Every structure is written in C-alpha cells, then in structure tokens.
Amino acid sequence: EAGVAQSPRYKIIEKRQSVAFWCNPISGHATLYWYQQILGQGPKLLIQFQNNGVVDDSQLPKDRFSAERLKGVDSTLKIQPAKLEDSAVYLCASSQQGYNQPQHFGDGTRLSIL
Amino acid sequence: DQQVKQNSPSLSVQEGRISILNCDYTNSMFDYFLWYKKYPAEGPTFLISISSIKDKNEDGRFTVFLNKSAKHLSLHIVPSQPGDSAVYFCAASVTGGKLIFGQGTTLQVKP
C-alpha cells in the first residue's frame, strides 16, 4: 500500500512570511496527525483529526498555525506569520480508526526560517 | 515536563551483538508503548508495540520489555545488524490519548 505522502520536502522562507504543507494519508486511515520535530527532540503532536473533525489541538499555536482536513482525506497545515523558532521538520502521520493503532509517518517537510 | 525520557543519546554496538535501548516514563496512566526507527531524511517507521497488560512482546529480532513497577521499557535487538543503525524513539500514550515521544537514541552498529 502507498504510504503517507507529504509535500514539499523542503521549504526555506524568511520570518514573517507564510507557508503551507500538504499531506495525503494512507487510504482508508480515518485519523490524521501533524507533528513538529525540532532538531534533537522527539516529534510533538500539533493537531489530530478524526475524519474531518479535530480531536486534539491543545498544542497548536493557534495565533499563527492553522490546519484543516476537508472531506476527511487530505490535510494542509499553515503557518502565518512564521517565526525563527518554527524551524523544524513537520511530520504527518495517519492511522486506522480505533484505539492503539500504530501511526504511520510520512517523510516530513523540513522548514528553515531565515 | 518530559513524561517520556531516553537518557542515552547514543549507543554503539558491534555487529552480531545485542543492542539494548532504554526508555523511562513518569505517567503511570500510560498503557500503550511503541518503538519507532528513523533513518536520516525519512519519517519514523513503526517497529513494535506493547500493551500494559503484557510485559514482553517479540517480533523477529526485536523484543520489547515493559516493567510497569519501574516505569521502564527497553528494546532488545538480537543480533544487531549494520542496517539497524538509526535513531530509535520510544513513545507512550494513555488509550485514546496522544502519543508522547522520547528524545531519541542514535544506534550505531559497527561491522
């Protein structure tokens, strides 16, 4: 089966600019996650969707980050305006519906803020 | 507040020997634990998981041990192979809750 697809792979922007990331989960996976991974740390959950509804966005900086999952499939994560501390790898993951289903990750987007 | 900790940033092992990666957690409500492997420029890949009702789960060369009283889990790789060289993350969750990841341990398996 095809894995989680993410684009772009790399993005370089200046601070205060905006940026958007796209994710296509594994077919049939109802749950979609966006993570932020800062260098030297483990992934940190930003937002979790179940179909097209938000389950957990408690760690999403809502003043600058937004995410949507229209039609319960693809998802986009946007940062506007970007800050230097947003430099990180943004990972998308998906899992089947149900408890304790392993999450499958895409290869991520590496974001550099100048 | 680091709920999941991997205190060893790196580990070096000879090919064919056992690799033991350790992970400690503080939240006694965690009941589901996973290990992920990550190669450079790739996303984490699911390796093995264990529920808190078990103390051991095995999958080929990979075995995860869970010690609930010590709030400790470990991943054993036997025998270690050069292709196992990667960053290993442990993660934990309360059923229905979000995954909390450790900082990762870089494993190097020398030929």
Q: What are B1-25's pLDDT values in tens digits?
A: 689 999 999 999 999 999 999 999 9
| Cα angle A13-B104-B53, degrees, rounded to a multiple of 5 | 130
**Cis bond before residue A8 (omega within 30° of 0):** yes
- DSSP for residue A34: E
What single-letter amino acid sits at A14?
A: E
Min Cα distance B10 → chain A (Å) is 12
Of B78, B16, B6, B60, whose CA–CA distance to B38 is shortest? B6
Interface of chain A toward chain B, CB-CB under 8 angstroms: 4, 40-45, 48, 56, 91, 93, 99-100, 102-108
Please state, in angstroms and rounded to a whole number, the distance separating the CA atoms of residues A37 and B94.
Answer: 21
Give CA–CA dist A94/B98, Å, rounded: 13
For chain A, domains (ranges, CATH) are 5-113 (2.60.40.10)
- Residues with Cβ within 8 Å of residue A98, at least 6 apart in sequence: none
Q: What number is the average pLDDT over the span B54-82?
A: 97
Question: Does residue B42 register a pLDDT over 70?
Answer: yes
**Structural domains counted in chain B:** 1
CATH of the domain at B95: 2.60.40.10
The chain A residue lying nearest B32, using CA atoms, is A100
B96 contact residues in A (CB cutoff 8 A): 99
Q: Which two tokens stand for residue B86?
A: 């990667």
pLDDT band at B70 (very low <50, low <70, confident <90, very high): very high
CA distance B51 to chain A (A): 9
Q: What is the pLDDT of residue A9?
A: 97
The distance of A56 to chain B (nearest Cα, Å) reads 8
Query: Which residue(s) pair with A90 in the sheet?
Result: A36, A109
- State whether A105 and B44 contact (CB < 8 Å): yes
Boundaries of domain holding B56: 4-110
**B89 to chain A: which residues are within 8 Å by CB?**
42-43
pLDDT at B2: 81
| Per-residue model confidence as pLDDT tens digits over A40-95 | 999 999 999 998 899 999 999 999 999 999 888 999 999 999 999 999 999 999 99
Q: Residue A104 above 70 pLDDT? A: yes
